[in-house]
Structure 1
Amino acid sequence: MLGFLRAVARFLDEKIGWNRIGVAISILIIAVALHVLYGMVHDLDFGDVTKALKATPIWHVVLASIFVAAGYFTLTFYDLFALRTIGRADVPYRVAALAGFTSYSVGHNVGASVFTGGAVRYRVYSAWGLDAIDVAKVCFIAGLTFWLGNATVLGLGIAYVPDSVAPIIPLPIWLNRGLALATLVVLATYVAWVWTRPRIVGREGWQVTLPGGPLTLMQIVIGIIDLGCCALAMWILMPTTPHIGFVELAVIFVSATLLGFASHSPGGLGVFDAAMLAGLLHLEFDRAQVLAGVLLFRVLYYLVPFALALLILGGRELWVNFRGRSHESGPS
């Protein structure tokens, strides 16, 4: 069986190419999501959405903004943790925070975050002597933290409320719970694997020593806090009736986020929104109120940080150019 799978993988790689397959999958996800989204909102009176936006208590928006800010603050530790993992303890937190915040803000909105976020990180870290391989290692460790956190939240959440993702991923409840428990077993196996002795991945000029057991647990905690803050922001912006538990909302939110990430659509546009609506409307939420909450979250989590990141990066470039010209015009 393993030999057959390898033969299929080799055939796909040689005859089609994994890049083309990835693009095709992204296009398929976006197309399906837009079709679903249209079916859910095409007959919606957007005047009702405007009313729902105006009716949202301002303190809900303020509290959601605080949790979004806390989520982005946690994101900065993805980079700090990665820098310490690859042995660059000389890079201070302020630089890690700058690279982490701007790379994720730009990557979230532009799409293809692996490349766009990596380019932003390289621009920031190259001033501290990191080369392209070092930045790739930072991206790898930060990405590992992201996936460990997501897998843990989904594993625990779906095991607790297995029917929460049924509207998004229509599988039997027993299968959802089984997959969640299998995910938790894989996570526990990975933690045990890195706990026993140092594990190195990569070869030749690109090698990374994976964080050990205790540090891997720290990665998971960082990821959970990040996702928890963002899910709390979304939970606060949701209608108060009917009631939805935080864990159920968190599972729907993380699932929608991952689908948006997989689509490579800028900001998960269309995909994230369709998944959120699909996951919530079966609970008899008012469509206009749900859409208003999703739109507010988009503003707080995507647009505002993106604008701030562009201002910060633009200001940094102006400062770097100004300092460069000052040195050139100074006494020799």
Structure 2
Amino acid sequence: MKRYLDYLWPLIGLVAVVWSVELLWDKLKAEAGTDGAVQALLEQGTLWQNVKIIAAGIGQKIALISPDAFLHAALATLVAYAALAWYDRIALIHLGKEKGISWPYISLCSFVTYALSHNIGASVFSGGMVRFRAYTAKGLTTADVAVLVALCSFTFAFGTILLLGLVLIGEPQILRPLGRLSHWFTLGDTTARLIGFGLLAFVGLYTIGSWLKFKPLKIGKFELIYPRLPVVARQYLAAPLELMGAAGIIYFALPDQGNPGFFIVLGAFLLSFSAGLLSQVPGGVGVMEAVFLAVMPGVPAPAVFAALLIWRLFYLILPLVISLPIVLAFERSQLRKNTRIAPPP
């Protein structure tokens, strides 16, 4: 059975690559085809014509961004992905499996994981598949990888809860414009602040549980250990750093005219990106535009669209393009390794 799995996994990796290429093409078409006339041309054009139309449409939006903004957005992207790699490192420290797994290996695994999961959606499945392949090759068990994936997901949620709590306490009015999108956001400033304090209370209770060293939860032979203070302390740093880096891409790409400041941009990002993840819409297409336009009415709509395009290029599309050859190279190396060690017939 193991012999069959050794050949099945590279096949699954190839299918994921093909699917990702198709998804990448659809994303580029969607970004360029927001204009009705451009969309009509895309429906009638040949492949090569569509490539040129897409390049021209995206180029027009990018032209709105200054070179300095590009540089700062690129640096913010590096910060975000470095923090995402830290998520994996934190989980390995929690498992006591960090020895023998280098930072470059963790960073590469994390980069490919999030490049695929952010674009494909269903992050637990798509990201879990990459981590399973990468970390079982380093000796981790299936149960170890399951805990690692769960803790990385919780670290992201922890950072979102922490920062969103701070935003709602400091800028409770951020929810007012969103009432036009959903009645769930029709809340007064006092209620918004209370929600913010409630979110921070959850963060505090989680930290207290670590300080009190809650006993492990045993389910049969499986043991779930509560994260200890050194792990929680790292989560306090890594999770906000990643989210602020990702939001920073949008902040730097926005023009000075009507820019409400980083705190509001961060809040809009947390609300829209979380809603996109919950709806499993890859990249939060449509959701992010609606939230940012509502929260920042002083910023011209074309500038908002351009900033979100830069975010998708840096945070989603370019990482996906870079990750595909990495997946192919890894699966090829694993296939060669399995072929070499296969016993003769």
1:254 corresponds to 2:242: no
Partner of 1:131: 141
Question: Unpaired segments of 5 or more residues in structure 1?
Answer: 1-40
Partner of 2:336: 322
How far apart are the structure 1 equivalents of 2:343 and 2:104? 29
How far apart are the structure 2 equivalents of 1:201 and 1:73? 31
The structure 1 residue matched to 2:69, chosen from 46, 51, 60, is: 60
The question of whether the paired residues in 2 share the 8 Å contact of 1:106 and 1:116 is answered with yes
How far apart are the structure 1 equivalents of 2:210 and 2:37? 51
Partner of 1:236: 252
How far apart are the structure 2 equivalents of 1:311 and 1:42? 32
Partner of 1:208: 224
TM-score by structure 1 length? 0.79
Root mean square deviation of aligned Cα: 2.6
| Residue 276 of structure 1: how far off its partner (Å) | 2.5
1:150 corresponds to 2:164: no
| Residue 254 of structure 1: how far off its partner (Å) | 1.1
Partner of 1:119: 129
Distance 1:200 1:275, change over 3 A: farther
SS of the aligned residue for 1:285 comes to coil
How far apart are the structure 1 equivalents of 2:263 and 2:85? 25
| Residue 44 of structure 1: how far off its partner (Å) | 11
- Which shows bigger deviation, 176-185 or 84-93? 84-93
The question of whether the paired residues in 2 share the 8 Å contact of 1:192 and 1:213 is answered with no
| Residue 205 of structure 1: how far off its partner (Å) | 3.3
TM-score by structure 2 length? 0.77
Matched to 2:290, the amino acid is: A
Distance 1:291 1:131, change over 3 A: same
Matched to 2:330, the amino acid is: R
How far apart are the structure 2 equivalents of 1:43 and 1:226? 35
| Residue 238 of structure 1: how far off its partner (Å) | 1.0
| Equivalent pairs, count | 288
The structure 2 residue matched to 1:285, chosen from 299, 307, 311, is: 299
SS of the aligned residue for 2:137 comes to helix
How far apart are the structure 1 equivalents of 2:259 and 2:304? 13
> Which aligned runs of 4 or more in structure 1 are off by greater than 6 angstroms?
41-50
The question of whether the paired residues in 1 share the 8 Å contact of 2:259 and 2:296 is answered with no
| Residue 172 of structure 1: how far off its partner (Å) | 1.4
The C-alpha deviation readout for 1:15-64, integer Å capped at 9, x for no partner, is xxxxxxxxxxxxxxxxxxxxxxxxxx889999999655313112211220
Question: Unpaired segments of 5 or more residues in structure 2?
Answer: 1-33, 40-55, 179-184
Partner of 2:87: 78
How far apart are the structure 2 equivalents of 1:147 and 1:202? 24
- Which shows bigger deviation, 316-325 or 131-140? 316-325
How far apart are the structure 1 equivalents of 2:343 and 2:146? 36
The C-alpha deviation readout for 1:286-316, integer Å capped at 9, x for no partner, is 1111111111111111000111111211122
How far apart are the structure 2 equivalents of 1:288 and 1:79? 37
- Which shows bigger deviation, 252-261 or 83-92? 83-92
How far apart are the structure 2 equivalents of 1:303 and 1:257? 16
The C-alpha deviation readout for 1:176-209, integer Å capped at 9, x for no partner, is 1110011112211221122012442452233221
Distance 1:195 1:132, change over 3 A: same
Partner of 2:204: 188
Partner of 2:308: 294
Distance 1:206 1:271, change over 3 A: farther
SS of the aligned residue for 1:55 comes to coil
How far apart are the structure 1 equivalents of 2:120 and 2:253? 24
Partner of 1:163: 173
The question of whether the paired residues in 1 share the 8 Å contact of 2:289 and 2:304 is answered with no
SS of the aligned residue for 2:296 comes to helix
Distance 1:214 1:318, change over 3 A: closer
How far apart are the structure 2 equivalents of 1:232 and 1:294? 11
| Residue 214 of structure 1: how far off its partner (Å) | 4.0
How far apart are the structure 2 equivalents of 1:135 and 1:304? 27
- Which shows bigger deviation, 172-181 or 157-166? 157-166
The question of whether the paired residues in 1 share the 8 Å contact of 2:79 and 2:245 is answered with yes
How far apart are the structure 1 equivalents of 2:291 and 2:329? 36
How far apart are the structure 1 equivalents of 2:335 and 2:231? 39
